[in-house]
């Protein structure tokens, strides 16, 4: 989908349309007062105080009708520049505008407002010349929003909309929005009974239902088997850690705001762990190591807990408790390039298995606000230069982004765009010279001297939660056979005549490791077939007299109308081959 903010012409149109929306609302609700109406990637919104009135989606067509009426009138949009004193006087009856003006610096800000007919609004601009140019718009939704984003403040009405230069462009955008809505993993997760949320459990803490648990089990097995074959040693470490552990690592000073509150038990202080690296540092330190042992790759599917603001949590994409496909590689300085290359290759192999193609590599660097990062310029310069050199040597196409690094070092992030337009990190690989120092990690080098290892932090699937969210959106819930919670649905034509044969097939498939169900409900075959398609089950097999007499099955793949009749053993062989090939 197009990013409105990145298109100058569309950005101006959408900001102008936000004023058109406000004018229409003012006509319909004369007591309305307005906070801000910015342009966003998806279009625009305006935050409005309607007193005791709460808008619903049903109110939007009425507002759109008034907007069209104003647009046809064709009033010019006129800019006026004011002193701060005059601006305060002009908007003296509007507490929201007074708040904005009061915080403006007299010397550094030009205070301007724009008038279109009977409506004047405080704004920097620019705007289109006349409201007549605002013809092709759509109001999308309405929601509540705290004034200034503070939960202690009043809830305002936030109306979202979008505006384009032509009807065709608007229709195309609305089609894209509908496609994104159908791809939204929250909708798919609910429809396919993959996960649920409940306020009694808490925001950002999803419950994986049986279908989701089966998907997750297979993802865990997939990545764990892959890592073990590549020399990773897996461990289990506690989901808690002492405050002293995180003070040693530096997380307490740099990451505390993202942790859950401390718990005091007897004479110890604990926190739910936000990440696993401190635990893995101690696993490495538990033994003496020679340079001949390196690299040492320690992996874990670990549960982590991070405090996300309630407004930021989103299905499985952004959660407060997560399972991370984490690992730490302890290597010598001259092994960094090879090990980093191996991690990148693993990422590419995994993405190929899942058919992911639309992603980009981001080199995440320290930002200008150095207090957010560990204070060691020499270490940062060395780490950033080394990582940039490694990525260049790999021939990787990447872009750089400041203020995206971990507090202890730069990283390579794999960025993807979710169906609802979020730019999220899927996989990550980080270079770290700090934690080996903080934990006093050493190995014995070729000279018989102690030497610090370098640590590479990496997460290939990232968190299983976010990976599953992205996978559902990429596939629209049509998962590959090896991952599907139910792989085969058996549908007897008649329960009286074919159900027992269906049970025989059920038993044979289960013995072959296939996840299978028998639909013996007293419903028509067509209804059962449609439901199997809706549930996105990869294979449906219908059994009637022909199949029963010939020891056969007639199968149909999801999304296809082609029916194929083969023996049970041939069918089992077909399934096993596709599962093995990750088809």
Active site residues: 277, 306, 324, 326, 328, 411, 457
Other C-beta atoms closer than 10 Å to the C-beta of 200 total 5
CB 307 within 8 A of CB 320: yes
Q: How far is Cα 546 from Cα 554, in angstroms, rounded to an integer?
A: 9
Nearest C-alpha neighbor of 390 from the set 416, 359, 357, 429: 429
Which residues, at least 6 apart from 532, have a Cβ–Cβ distance to it below 8 Å?
489, 491, 519, 540, 558
Determine the 3-state secondary structure of 220 from DSSP: helix
CB 116 within 8 A of CB 77: yes
CB 391 within 8 A of CB 361: yes
Other C-beta atoms closer than 10 Å to the C-beta of 95 total 11
Q: How far is Cα 483 from Cα 215, in angstroms, rounded to an integer?
A: 6
Q: How far is Cα 143 from Cα 123, in angstroms, rounded to an integer?
A: 23
Determine the 3-state secondary structure of 248 from DSSP: helix
Task: Kindly state the greatest CA–CA separation across the chain.
Answer: 93
What CA dihedral angle connects 500, 506, 507 and 510, to 10 degrees? -170
Q: Which residues pair with 555 in a beta bridge?
A: 541, 564
CB 317 within 8 A of CB 469: yes
**DSSP strand pairing (263-265 vs 268-272):** antiparallel
Determine the 3-state secondary structure of 340 from DSSP: helix
CB 59 within 8 A of CB 163: no
């Amino acid at each position: 989908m197009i990013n409105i903010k990145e298109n100058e012409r569309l950005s101006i149109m959408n900001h102008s349309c936000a004023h058109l929306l406000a004018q229409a609302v003012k006509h319909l609700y004369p007591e309305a007062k307005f906070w801000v109406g910015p342009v966003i990637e998806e279009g625009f919104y305006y935050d409005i105080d309607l007193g005791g009135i709460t808008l619903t989606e049903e109110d939007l067509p009425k507002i759109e009708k008034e907007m069209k009426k104003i647009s046809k009138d064709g009033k010019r949009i006129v800019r006026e520049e004011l002193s701060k004193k005059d601006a305060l006087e002009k908007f003296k009856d509007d507490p929201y505008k007074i708040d904005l003006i009061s915080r403006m610096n007299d010397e550094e800000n030009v205070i301007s407002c724009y008038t279109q007919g009977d409506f004047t609004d405080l704004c920097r601009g620019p705007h289109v010349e006349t409201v007549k140019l605002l013809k092709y718009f759509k109001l999308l939704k309405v929601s509540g929003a705290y004034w200034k984003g503070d939960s202690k403040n009043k809830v305002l009405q936030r109306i979202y909309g979008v505006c384009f230069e032509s009807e065709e462009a608007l229709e195309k955008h609305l089609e894209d929005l509908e496609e994104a809505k159908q791809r939204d993993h929250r909708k798919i997760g609910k429809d396919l009974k993959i996960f649920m949320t409940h306020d009694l459990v808490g925001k950002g803490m999803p419950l994986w239902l049986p279908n989701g648990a089966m998907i997750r089990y297979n993802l865990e097995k997939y990545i764990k088997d892959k890592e073990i074959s590549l020399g990773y040693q897996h461990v289990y470490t506690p989901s808690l850690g002492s405050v002293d552990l995180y003070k040693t690592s530096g997380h307490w000073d740099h990451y505390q705001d993202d942790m859950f509150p401390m718990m005091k038990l007897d004479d110890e202080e604990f926190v739910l762990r936000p990440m696993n690296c401190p635990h893995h540092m101690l696993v490495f330190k538990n033994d003496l190591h020679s340079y001949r042992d390196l690299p040492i790759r320690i992996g874990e599917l670990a549960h982590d807990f991070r405090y996300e603001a309630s407004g930021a949590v989103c299905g499985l994409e952004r959660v407060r408790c997560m399972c991370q496909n984490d690992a730490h590689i302890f290597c010598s300085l001259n092994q960094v390039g090879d090990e980093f290359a191996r991690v990148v290759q693993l990422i590419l192999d995994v993405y190929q298995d899942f058919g992911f193609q639309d992603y980009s590599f981001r080199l995440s660097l320290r930002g200008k606000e150095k207090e957010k990062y560990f204070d060691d310029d020499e270490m940062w310069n060395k780490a950033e230069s080394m990582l940039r050199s490694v990525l260049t040597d790999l021939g990787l196409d990447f872009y750089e982004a400041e203020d995206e690094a971990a507090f202890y070092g730069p990283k390579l992030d794999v960025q993807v765009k979710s169906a609802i337009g979020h730019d999220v990190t899927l996989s990550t690989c980080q270079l770290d010279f700090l934690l080996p120092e903080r934990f006093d990690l050493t190995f014995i080098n070729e000279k018989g001297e102690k030497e610090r290892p370098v640590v590479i932090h990496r997460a290939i699937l990232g968190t299983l939660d976010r990976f599953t969210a992205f996978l559902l959106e990429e596939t629209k819930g049509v998962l590959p056979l090896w991952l599907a919670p139910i792989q085969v649905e058996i549908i007897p034509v008649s329960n009286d005549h074919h159900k027992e044969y269906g049970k025989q097939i059920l038993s044979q498939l289960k013995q072959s490791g296939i996840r299978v169900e028998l639909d013996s409900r007293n419903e028509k075959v067509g209804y059962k077939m449609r439901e199997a398609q809706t549930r996105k089950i990869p294979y449906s097999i219908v059994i009637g007299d022909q199949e029963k007499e010939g020891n056969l099955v007639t199968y149909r793949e999801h999304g296809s109308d082609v029916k194929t009749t083969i023996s049970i053993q041939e069918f089992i062989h077909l399934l096993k081959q596709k599962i093995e090939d990750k088809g």
